[in-house]
Structure 1
C-alpha cells in the first residue's frame, strides 16, 4: 500500500503477522492541524500512532478531489454538508462511507463500532477498530 504521507515508504521491519511492514507516518498535531517537527525534521510515528494520522487525513480528504491521491483514498462526505444527519437513514449511510474509506488500509482488520453525536449542526463520530497492532479508537 502506498502511504501518501511518508512518500510511500514503509519501514523494513514486519508486524506480528509477518506479512506487512511496520506502518509509519509523519507525526501530526491534531489540535493545531499541522506536522510535528523534532530538531528541524519531521517526527515519525509507527504502528497504531501512525494509523491515527492516516485515519485522520483520510477522513478529512474528499475522495476523487485531488489528483495526488489514488481513487481509493479519502471519503465521500461532502454530499452531506448542509443536510440533516439526525435520521437513521443518513447515519447508516455515513457509517457505510466511513467504513469504506478506512477499510482500504490493509493494516485495519475491522471496524468494530461507529458512534455518532450531532450537536449544533456538527456531526462527530467515534470509530472503534481493530488493526494488525491491536484495538484503536479515534474520534472526529
Structure 2
C-alpha cells in the first residue's frame, strides 16, 4: 500500500514560485544574468538558459507529489550551484556602488548582500521537500 503524498506546504510552494519566476526571467532577459557567470566559462548565454530551464523543471517537480522528493534534491543542488553567481552579483554591485557613490547604487548593493543569507532557508526548504513522502 502506498503512503499518501503529503500536501504541498506554503514554503515549498513559495520555493516553486520563486524558481518559476527566476527561471522565466533567465529565459526572457538572459543578459541580466550573464555577468554572474564566471568569465572562464564558455557560452555564457547558454549557461543562463540552461539554469533557467533547470529552475523551471525544479519548480514543476516541487509542486507535483510524485516528483517532489527528487525535485527537492535537485533544487538544493541548484541553489548550491548558483550561490557563487549570487556572490558575484554582490561583488559587481559593490564595485558599482564604490564608483558611483550614489544612494541607489548603495541600496542595490545592500539588497544583494541581504539576499546572500537567504540561500540557507531556501536550501533548507528544498531539503524538506526531498523528505516529503
Query: Which of structures 1 and 2 has the larger relative contact order (alpha carbons within 8 angstroms, sep 6+)?
Result: 2
TM category, shorter: 0.3 to 0.5
Higher share in helix: 2
Structure with larger Rg: 2
TM-score w.r.t. length of structure 1: 0.31
